[in-house]
A and B are shown apart, each in its own frame.
Chain A
Amino acid sequence: MENFSPISVLVRNEPGVLSRVSGLFARRGFNIYSLAVGETDDPKVSRISVVVAGEAPIIDQVVKQLRRLVSVIMVSDLTGRPRVERGLLLMKVNAPHDKRGELMQLAQIFRARVDHVDNQSLILEVTGNREKLEAFIDILRPHGIQEMARTGQIAMARSQGPMADYWNDVAAGYDPDQDGTYNISRAAERLAQEIEEQD
């Protein structure tokens, strides 16, 4: 089971909208692992990518509470869904002459870029999903991390294939489709199947 859920929230690009979303998390005691905000291709719409720590019932509440906000256009829970997930990490690590080679090797394994080098340290830049970045930190930690900065994780579902449809409908039919209407027919079919299987 995954304890971190990437949730993608499309919001109106208006003043105070980040505060609405982050305030909701604080107020209801949801734990944010990471958060990233940026405009989408439509300047009227921003995407907030948030990774939430919690079990399924918590994530269910997170999604439902987000949907209550009038500024929120759409919420997708990408948990367990095929996706591309990326965050960016900058790390300044101790790099005396005798360790530099080893560090460069490690950097290569993680496809990290070397952004800066001097006699005492290296600045490494690496992108990847949460697991990769955590692994990178673990491996580099013994060398002595001087400074570190990370962006929030951003994520995107891999396709509009059958899985994507499934996850769009899974919330028992009240998940808005992209055109803003409610498509309950697919969810209804699935529920019908479910009931038959139960009986």
Chain B
Amino acid sequence: MNTPAKPQDPKAAFTGSDAVVACLKHQGVEVIFGMTGGAIMPLYDAIFRDGSIQHVIVGHEQGAAHMAEGYARATGKVGVVMTTSGPGATNLVTGLADAFMDSTPMVAITGQVTSNLLGNDAFQEADMRGITMPITKHNYQISSVDELPEVLAEAFFVALSGRPGPVLIDLPKDVMTAPCDHLLAAPSAPSGYQPHYRGNPLQIGRALKVLAQAKQPVILAGGGVITAGAHEELRELAQVTGIPVANTLMGLGSFPADNDLFLGMPGMHGTGYANLALHHADVILCVGTRLVDRVTGKLDSFAPKAQFIHIDVDASEIGKNLPCLVPIVGDARSVLADLARGAAEWATKPDISEWLSQIEAWKNCYPMVYADKPPAIAPQAVVELLGRILPQETIVVTGVGQHQMYTAQFYPFKEPRTFITSGGLGTMGYGLPAAVGAKIGAPDKEVVLIDGDGSFLMTIQELATAVRYKVGLVVLILNNNFLGMVRQWQEMFLDKRQAETDLQPPPYARVAQAFGGMGRQVMTVDELEPAIAWARQQAAEKHLPVVLDVAVEREALVLPMVPPGGANADFIPCPGQKREE
């Protein structure tokens, strides 16, 4: 770690860089993920001189962005990223787009060439404001030190408030070195940007009326519930009304998986009973969800009988994909609390017992099962095993692909912020850096990364970061030597033609050792549980990344599955089950 040096000359001028550092400290920033370079050097120098903010050097800037995401998801705070201009900045694009899709609060500070060279195609110049306009909540290019305090305060406010998202500040090098004698500006809301928190009481009244009359209601809760910290309120509402709850991928953890009212995840790889419940529902209360295509399947045939109540802090999500009977713009926590309070005053609780027994029948008809083909290890069995042995506050991180869906389907999430995954953008390579960021943000919690052999390779250089900063985490690779999800589609929809999906990944256990971490290959079911116990112990004691390279059944399929473009009710069920209406 850095050994901060005192300023050589105490009379040295206070510069734009020092102002940025002061602003970051004012915002309570404790850690920055990044990589230095020509155009950001003055700011790095100021951080080094100041010495109170931890900096994590990454292997690649994309890793920094995902680390900031993992940090933000685990803590609820803003993740901060810093890179140089040009390639350093463009390498953030994937992470920014990912954070934008999943509404993750992030502030990225990118160096820029000096103002007099802007627009001149100078060395390492890239138009970051232009490039990131569609993938940030807002972005800035600073033209003078005078703007710094206000812009930084606004950037953090915008990143974290309302529907959170990434904000980028592009900082020309001459601004960093310019003398600056300003005090910190008070955080001020930009005019016009006014996140709306309380739900309209009359709309809430209407929603309660609709819910009270519903015969077959379902609550569909997404990531917004976790962002808003509304999990208690969600549980309260479900308990008061007795309405069953489905969680989208991003919403997993907001409702306990072992609760009788839990339906699991709906959609393309959702449970049969969640999809059937939504299909037959007469009222669906959506909260903090975008109703994206992976959730709805074919829109025309999604929940054909349902009327929608939709709660979102971002008005543009309401009515975007489906017409909505009762729109409620507001913070999920406040609105769900209002609804639960209202429902508690119902004179008679609506009788939905018939509906609940119907759902019970679906649960019995389409339980979540998988094909076990010993001696091969079923990937789902590994996830189930982890679900049994890991404490419930463990943070589980994934990459993107089959392993991600197995985790969503078979890991019993019970607490919010325990599942960190790339939902909207589906970024392979998200897992390792996000896990590192999560562990740095929540050092007291155990962090387990469940990854795929394809995903893991994409950002494998961050093993070096984990070793350098003593980040103890378990990396469990469900290794099928395939880009498994694509192979699954090839098997099901392309006559099994395996175009470029057969991988020959390197020996990950040895790679981890070479990086200075630890690793072990797991080939049989019997080795699995002892290996996991060993890895957890090593990670906790030695503060190192411990990789378990688990050879799993190569051609396992993620089921149930709704064929792309198909209707959710027409899902392909788990092995051994027949779809019948």
Contacts and interface: CB of A to CB of B under 8 A. Distances in A.
Partners in one complex: yes
Interface of A: 10, 12, 15-16, 19-20, 23, 27, 57, 60-61, 64-65, 67-74, 171-174, 176, 180-182, 184, 187-188, 191-192, 195
A144 B61 CA distance: 59
Contacts of B202: 173, 188, 191-192, 195
A70 B137 CA distance: 8
A192 B137 CA distance: 35
B196 interface: yes
Contact of A57 (B194, B315, B319): B319
Contact of B200 (A12, A19, A71, A172): A172
B95 interface: no
Nearest to A60: B319
A170 to B, nearest CB: 12
B203 interface: yes
B391 interface: no
Interface in B295-335: 314-316, 318-320, 323, 327, 329
Given A74-B192, A172-B200, A188-B201, A68 B316 contact: yes
Given A27-B134, A68-B316, A73-B191, 11 more contacts: A12-B191, A16-B141, A23-B133, A57-B319, A60-B319, A70-B193, A73-B192, A172-B203, A174-B196, A184-B200, A195-B202
A195 B200 contact: no
A16 B191 CA distance: 17
Q: What DSSP secondary structure best describes chain B's contact surface?
A: mixed
Contacts of B193: 70
A41 to B, nearest CB: 16
Interface of B: 129-130, 133-134, 137-138, 141, 158, 190-194, 196, 200-203, 205-206, 314-316, 318-320, 323, 327, 329
21 contacts: A19-B130, A20-B133, A23-B134, A27-B134, A57-B319, A65-B316, A67-B315, A68-B316, A70-B190, A70-B193, A71-B138, A72-B192, A173-B203, A173-B329, A181-B194, A184-B200, A187-B200, A191-B200, A191-B202, A195-B202, A195-B205
A182 B315 contact: no
B192 A10 contact: yes
A165 B158 CA distance: 29
Contacts of A69: 138
Nearest to A181: B194
Contacts of A187: 200
B200 A70 contact: no
Contact of A182 (B130, B196, B201, B327): B196
A68 B141 contact: no
Contact of A180 (B130, B194, B316): B194
Nearest to B130: A19
Q: What DSSP secondary structure best describes chain A's contact surface?
A: mixed
Contacts of A27: 134
A145 to B, nearest CB: 36
B105 to A, nearest CB: 14
A44 to B, nearest CB: 9
B129 A70 contact: no
Contacts of B141: 15-16
Contacts of B318: 64
Given A70-B193, A73-B192, A172-B327, A61 B203 contact: no
Given A172-B329, A191-B203, A61 B316 contact: yes
Contacts of A184: 200
Interface centre among B193, B319, B323 (most CB of A within 10 A): B193
Nearest to A171: B315
A87 B26 CA distance: 49
Given A70-B158, A172-B327, A180 B137 contact: no
A11 to B, nearest CB: 8
Contacts of A192: 202
A61 B320 contact: yes
B418 to A, nearest CB: 29
Given A15-B141, A187-B200, A188-B201, A176 B192 contact: yes
B203 A68 contact: no
A131 B138 CA distance: 37
Nearest to A73: B192
Contacts of A65: 316
A191 B297 CA distance: 33
A19 B316 CA distance: 20
Given A174-B329, A188-B200, A68 B194 contact: no
Nearest to B190: A70
Contact of A176 (B190, B194, B206, B320): B194
A10 B141 CA distance: 21
Nearest to A16: B129
Interface centre among B129, B200, B319, B323 (most CB of A within 10 A): B200
A191 B323 CA distance: 18
Contacts of B190: 12, 70
A38 B254 CA distance: 47
A181 B192 CA distance: 9
Query: Which 6 A-B pairs have CB atoms at the shortest separation, nearest pair first?
Result: A73-B192, A64-B316, A70-B138, A191-B202, A174-B329, A173-B200
B133 A67 contact: no
A19 B134 CA distance: 10
A173 B202 CA distance: 10
B206 A195 contact: yes
Interface centre among B158, B316, B318 (most CB of A within 10 A): B316
A180 B200 contact: no
Contacts of A15: 141
Nearest to B136: A70
B405 to A, nearest CB: 29
A27 to B, nearest CB: 5
A12 B154 CA distance: 14
A67 B316 contact: yes
B316 A182 contact: no
A68 B314 contact: yes
Interface centre among A15, A65, A72, A172 (most CB of B within 10 A): A172
Nearest to A72: B192
A61 B158 CA distance: 21
